[in-house]
Structure 1
Amino acid sequence: MAPRSKDAERTCLVTREAQPPDGLIRFVVDPSGQVIPDIREKLPGRGAWVGGRRDLVETAIRKKLFARAFRREVTVDEDLAGQVDRLLEDQALSALSIARKAGLVRTGFGKCESALASEDVAALMHALEAAEDGKRKLAQALRRRQALERERQENAAPRRPVRVIDGFFSGSQLDLALGGANVIHAALLAGGASGSFLGKVEALARYRSRDLNLKEDGIEAPAGLAP
């Protein structure tokens, strides 16, 4: 059998819309007849695709669309949507750990503030437990950074906008991923590994129906529930 093309569009079981696989989640059936997520799209066998949002996965479960897609009786765990969430979360945290090993992460309030002033920061992260005061002060540092950008000469290369990832991960999750203790704030510097992490956290945000949108003033808004 010919290998699957990563460029070919796939059709969502729920919406029946064709789209590139990057925006979908693949599912397969294991030897016991259980439907399982194939987040990395590596598992063998016939695949069924669902749009990368939790509500779409829940709809596919409720309407028993997996049995129709696989043309056989299958077992679907009632927590399948939760399994997908945890796998996407683990995938993002693994990518964050790789970014740390590449030297692209600064942890702690002071180091984040310094990085915003002097380094090419791609993203700023706040743990679930982060206090509003700390987030507010780092938002002020972002605004100072932007003000300095406006003062730079026109022929100077502008820095990239800073993404803010607020409340996606707990402090204990960041501790494990970053090899630290009591990590509440972290700055992610630009680089290949950080780009990989951002792509995976965007997939997680999409699945949870959360936004990572830029404000009109160019400062990244904290991620919140999408309308």
Structure 2
Amino acid sequence: MVNKSDESKQQQRCCLVTREKGNPEGLIRFVISPDNVVVPDLTERLPGRGMWLKADQNVLHMAIERRVFSRAAQCQVEVPENLSSMIINGLQCRIKNSLGLARRAGQVTFGFEKVREKISQNVVGLIIQATNGSEEERKRLLSGAKHLPNIAIFTAKELGILFGREYVVHAAIHTGSFVYRILCDNRRLAGFIN
């Protein structure tokens, strides 16, 4: 018996602009609200017929220029001017929520030395680093963990707020489901920001 989460991972979706098929993890779902406004559905749970686009800023611009949403919905729709920022803010919020849940579940380690120790124990699935941390320290930390994915989206102050500290420069997410979820949202976010 295939459970629902495994089934959704196997389903392919087609980008309305590029016509490429792919897993939902690399795409953004959009729906049309009752007042005919395009809404990004980052949780993929909103009602309505889903319209999928590759998670890429250029693809979104092409979709808007070519009026892809109106054609797919078969009616005139309104595309918000801040649609791109809605996606960016929404994905950042999802990553923050996942980090907060990981912290509450006891799946996060903070601090340079503690993170290095967890890396040596092979229990780390993802390294989070502050964008405004020392480049030299970043390289030192990653020297023993080149095989591990790492992301830097938030400042030390923002990470501190998420993790209940004054500031956090280095954090490690332990191997598990939080890693997969954060990496998927980070990949989608990377299509919209550098």
TM bucket normalised to smaller: 0.7 to 0.9
The aligned counterpart of 1:156 is none
Secondary structure of the corresponding residue to residue 46 of structure 2: coil
Q: How many residues align?
A: 187
| Match among 66, 80, 83 for residue 83 of structure 2 | 80
> Does the C-alpha gap of structure 1 residues 40 and 168 become closer, same or farther in structure 2, counting only changes over 3 Å?
same
Please tell me whether residue 103 in structure 1 is matched to residue 106 in structure 2: yes
Instruction: Give the CA deviation at 1:39.
Output: 0.9
Report the equivalent of 2:3. Answer: none
Identical columns (%): 32
TM-score computed with the length of structure 1 as normaliser:
0.73
Structure 1 counterpart of 2:41? 38
Q: What is the deviation of 1:137?
A: 2.2
2:1 aligned with 1:15, yes or no?
A: no
Give the conservation status (yes or no) of the 8 Å contact 2:25–2:184. no
Q: Does 1:164 align with 2:150?
A: yes
Q: Distance in 2 between matches of 1:106 and 1:96?
A: 11
> What's the counterpart of residue 167 of structure 2?
182
Question: 2:67 maps to what in 1?
Answer: 64
Q: Which residue of 1 aligns with 2:188?
A: 203
Deviation at 1:194, TM superposition (A): 3.0
Whole-angstrom CA distance in 2 between matches of 1:105 and 1:21: 27
Decide whether aligned partners of structure 1 residues 142 and 17 sit closer, same or farther in structure 2, where only a CA change above 3 A counts.
Answer: closer
Root-mean-square deviation over aligned CA pairs: 2.2
What are the Cα deviations for residues 126-174 of structure 1, in whole angstroms up to 9, with x where unaligned?
A: 111111121122134437xxxxxxxxxxxxxxxxx32121x32222332
Look up the match of 1:54: 57
Pairing partner for 1:114 from 108, 112, 117: 117
CA distance in 2, matches of 1:48, 1:194: 27
| Letter of the 2:49 counterpart | R
How high is the TM-score relative to the length of structure 2?
0.85
Unaligned runs of 5+ in 1: 144-160, 210-224
| Partner SS for 1:73 | coil
Q: Aligned partners of 2:99 and 2:11: how far apart in 1?
A: 29
C-alpha change, 1:102 and 1:194, in structure 2 (3 Å) is: farther
Instruction: Determine which structure has more spread, i.e. the larger CA radius of gyration.
Output: 1
Q: What residue is the counterpart of 1:134 in the other structure? A: 137
